[in-house]
Amino acid sequence: MGLGDDLMITGFVEQEKKKHPNKQIVIGNLEEKIIYDSLIYKNNPNITPIDKVDRNKPIHFINYHTKNRPYIDYQNSNNMNWQWNMNFSPIPGKLYFTEAEKMKAKKIISAAKDDWKRNNSTEYKGVIFFESTSTKVDHNFFYNKMKNKDWGESNWKKLILKLKDKYLIIQSKHKKSKRYKGAYYSSIDFNFREACSIINESDLFLGPEGGFGHVAAALGKKAVLYFGGWIHPKVTGYDFHENIYFDHPTSPCGAVGYICEHCEEARRSINADYLYDKVITTLNI
């Protein structure tokens, strides 16, 4: 749980600010009396930064942290499987870019377009921002969780190769990124917020359920997201996105304590041709 969670709460924060316009809005752990900050909250006019909080003025505290996420049914969850709160559905969050972040995104988009012109004789039909690799793979818990959520490198490779001749695909870039033939890999480094700004300049986000899916929703962008059978799209998805779900008697499994065979079955059952059709259809809507 990370930046996607931070973004999910910002839509609720906007609603709370309208109810409490004269209060400072902060997010954290109420029981431990800790206020959290996040790069997601940067420039958000509805959230008071930690270093600007005035303890002598009214504060509206939003109790939201790793042990209090509204989409998890904690009472019925355990260390092996999480259960989901099927009564919860997210609302799009809010992102506020700096001018420097906007300019960085435009620079990278421009470089990607120049690269396309050098290597292709035809025009591309759209710009896709693509991410397949999680940064959360160092700990066994996160490895199991992300492995179960993942569609698999071989599947993504097949899909990118099917799309690359018609669409300009810009790949996310971080320390654990896997390079994909057919996707543009920027020579310019960029951070998460700058990646979000690139999505804002793109036509569609393509990747697994997670942080960038919430980014696409916050920016009102189209998205094709692989959910597999791990979590239900109703819980962390948006109805204006194309959410690829493995509808199976044991879905959604929420497996976190082990590598799940059901999730492997999902990877085998949902092929590249199927996602390709979904991407084309979504871009043409």
pLDDT tens, position by position, 246-270:
999 999 999 999 999 999 999 999 9
Identify whether residues 61 and 144 lie together within a single domain: no
Q: Is 79 helix (H, G, I), strand (E, B) or coil?
A: coil
Q: Rounded to an integer, what distance in angstroms lies between the CA atom of residue 69 and that of residue 239?
A: 20
Q: Rounded to an integer, what distance in angstroms lies between the CA atom of residue 155 and that of residue 244?
A: 14
The whole-number pLDDT of residue 174 equals 79
Q: Is 190 helix (H, G, I), strand (E, B) or coil?
A: coil
* pLDDT one-digit tens code per residue, 139-173: 566 789 999 999 999 999 999 999 999 999 999 98
Q: Is the pLDDT of residue 175 over 90?
A: no
Identify whether residues 107 and 186 lie together within a single domain: yes
Identify whether residues 45 and 161 lie together within a single domain: no
Does 88 map to a domain?
Answer: no
Q: Give the residue numbers spanning the domain of 167.
A: 99-284
Does 250 map to a domain?
Answer: yes
**Domain-ending residue, one of 52, 70, 88:** 70
68, HSE (Cβ side, Cα atoms, 13 Å): 11
Between CA 117 and CA 123, with CA 119 as vertex, the angle to 5 degrees is 45
Element spanning 7, H or E: helix 3-19
Provide CB contacts within 8 A for 188, sequence distance 6+. 104, 107, 108, 111
Residue 217 structure tokens: 């929703």
* pLDDT one-digit tens code per residue, 197-233: 999 999 999 999 999 999 999 999 999 999 999 999 9
Task: Spell out the alpha helix ranges (H) of 58-175.
Answer: 99-119, 140-149, 153-163
Q: Rounded to an integer, what distance in angstroms lies between the CA atom of residue 242 and that of residue 254?
A: 20
The whole-number pLDDT of residue 224 equals 98
Identify whether residues 147 and 252 lie together within a single domain: yes
Does 252 map to a domain?
Answer: yes
Does 84 map to a domain?
Answer: no
Identify whether residues 233 and 175 lie together within a single domain: yes
Integer angstrom CA distances of residue 49 from 19, 144, 182, 194: 19, 34, 41, 20
Identify whether residues 57 and 113 lie together within a single domain: no
The pTM of this model reads 0.95
CATH code: domain of residue 256: 3.40.50.2000
Q: Under a CB-based contact definition with an 8 Å cutoff, are residues 217 and 211 in contact?
A: no
Q: Please tell me the total count of domains within the chain.
A: 2
Integer angstrom CA distances of residue 35 from 17, 61, 66, 72, 285: 17, 9, 13, 21, 42
